[in-house]
Amino acid sequence: MNTTIKNHRFYLLFFPLGHMAVDWGGGAILLLAPAIAIAYDLSALQVGILLTSMELGAGIAYAPAGMLGDRIKRRGFLLLLSFWWVAIGFFIASFAPNYWSLVALITVAIVGVAAWHPVATGVMVEQMSDRKAQALGIHAFGGTISHVLAPLSVGFLLIYFDWREVLQISAIPALVVGVSLIWLRRRIPDSTGEKIGKSDLRNIWEAWRTPLGVITALMLGTYQTSFVALQAMTPLFLVREHGFSIALTSVVFAGMLTGGAILSPLIGRTSDTIGRKPVAAAALFGAGIMAIVAAFATSGLLLVGGLIISGTLIVCVRSVMLASAVDVTSGRESTALGLAFTIMDGVGALGAIAAGAIGTNDLRLAIGFAGFAAIVALVFAFLLPSKSLSLKKSTV
C-alpha cells in the first residue's frame, strides 16, 4: 500500500504525540534516578537494577501486545487502555514506601508503555509500507522528544518539589492523551487482516531462525544494551564523577537526544533508500567511539561533546534497527515489532545492570561499556545484506 504523508496527517501527528506522552514517565525516571538514589542511598548497581526492571517489564509485555495488535480489530481501544494503565501506574508508584516496592510498581507501570509501542508502530508501518524506517523514525521522534523534555522538566521541577511529586506530575501527559482517546480512538484504523494464528506464529519463528534473523536479533540485543547503558548511566556519571548539578545534567542529557530525534526520520528514510547496512554501521561506529572518548575525557569539551554525539547517533539509528526486524518477517507488522521490542528490551535490559555493576567503583567504565556494546552491534551490522529485503522488493 503506497501512501504519502499528506494523506495521513492524523497518523503522522497523533502517533508521535502519543509516543511522547506514553514515554514521558519513563523519560522522567532517567533524571529522577539520581534523586531517588540520594533518597534511598542507592549504589550504581541498585540504580541499574531499577532501570533494568523497567526494560524487563516492557520486554515481557511487547510480544503479547504485538500479537493483540494483529488479533484485536479495535486497536484504538487497546491504545486507550495503555495510557490509563501508565498514568495510574506511575501515580501509584510515587507512593512506594521503599526501594523494592518502587522497583515493582515502576515495572508494572511500564507494561502499559510497552502495550503502546508495537500496536502504534504496526499501524504506522502498515500505512507507509514502502517507507518503513521513515515511518518508524517519525514515531520515534515523539518518544525521543519526551526523553528530552521530561528530563529537562525533572531537572527544574526538583528545585521546587521532591521526587515523588515530580513523578506524579510526569504522569499527566499520559492522562491527557488517555482522556482524548475516549473520542479519538475511533480514528485509529481497525485491523483489516485475518486474526493471527498458529501458522503465522510458526512462519515468524522460522524467519527468525534463518541466518538473517539470528544476525538481526544479535544486532538488536547488543544495540539496545549500548542504548540502555548510555541512557541509564550518563546522569549518574555526570553527577557523581564530574560534579554536575541535576539541572545541568538534564541539559546535557537533552542535548544527547535532541539531535537523534531530529535526525531519526531522515536516517530512516536514508536506510529505506540505500539499505540498512551502511546506515547502521556508520551510526554504530560513531556512537561507540564517541562514548569511549567521553568516558575517559580529561576536558569538559570532549566529555560533553562525546556524550552528545554518541547519544545523537545511538538514538537516530533506532528506527533502522526496528525496520531491520520488520524486514526479517515481511508481514504481521505489530507482531514483528512486538518481537523486536522484546528482543531489544529483554536482552538490552541487561545493559543497565551490567553497566551499573561494571561502574560500581568507576563510572567511567560504565560509559566505556556502552561504547563497547555499540562496537559489538557494529560487527553484526556488517553481516547484514547490503540492501534491505524491502528495498529489493521495491526495485523488482
pLDDT tens string 320-342: 988 888 788 765 666 667 777 77
Quick one: pLDDT at residue 393? Answer: 46
Contact present, 284 and 219 (Cβ < 8 Å): no
Size of the chain, expressed as the number of residues it contains: 396
CA distance 278 to 293: 23
Residues 6+ apart with CB under 8 A from 201: 67, 335
Can you tell me the distance from the alpha carbon of 309 to that of 144, in angstroms, rounded to the nearest whole number?
15
Q: Tell me if 120 sits within 8 A of 89, measured CB to CB.
A: no
Specify the 3-state DSSP secondary structure of 54. Answer: helix
What's the CA gap between 160 and 153, in Å, rounded?
A: 11
pLDDT of residue 89: 94
CB atoms within 10 A of CB 395: 7
**Mean pLDDT throughout 57-77?**
73
Residue 194 has pLDDT above 70, yes or no: no
Indicate the pTM of the whole model.
0.73
The candidate with the shortest Cα–Cα distance to 232, out of 355, 108, 361, is 355
Q: What confidence tier does 388 reach under pLDDT thresholds 50, 70, 90?
A: low
Per-domain boundaries in the chain: 5-394
Of 380, 386, 370, 384, residue with least CA distance to 287: 370
Contacts of 63 (CB under 8 A, 6+ apart): 118, 335, 338, 339, 341, 342
Q: Which residues, 6 or more positions from 211, have their beta carbon under 8 angstroms from its beta carbon? A: none
Is the torsion defined by CA of 82, 84, 86, 89 positive or negative?
Answer: negative
pLDDT on residue 1: 43
Give the residue with greater pLDDT, 299 vs 39.
39
CB-CB contact of 320 with 276 (8 Å)? yes
Which of helix, strand or coil describes residue 300?
A: helix
| Cα–chain center distance at 295 | 22
* Range with the poorest average pLDDT among 124-128, 159-163, 179-183: 124-128
pLDDT in tens, 5-20: 444 677 778 888 988 9
Q: What is the identity of the amino acid at 279?
A: V
d(CA 248, CA 31): 11
Dist. CA 342–CA 62, nearest whole Å: 5
Contact indicator for 119, 336 with CB cutoff of 8 Å: no
CATH class of 5-394: mainly alpha
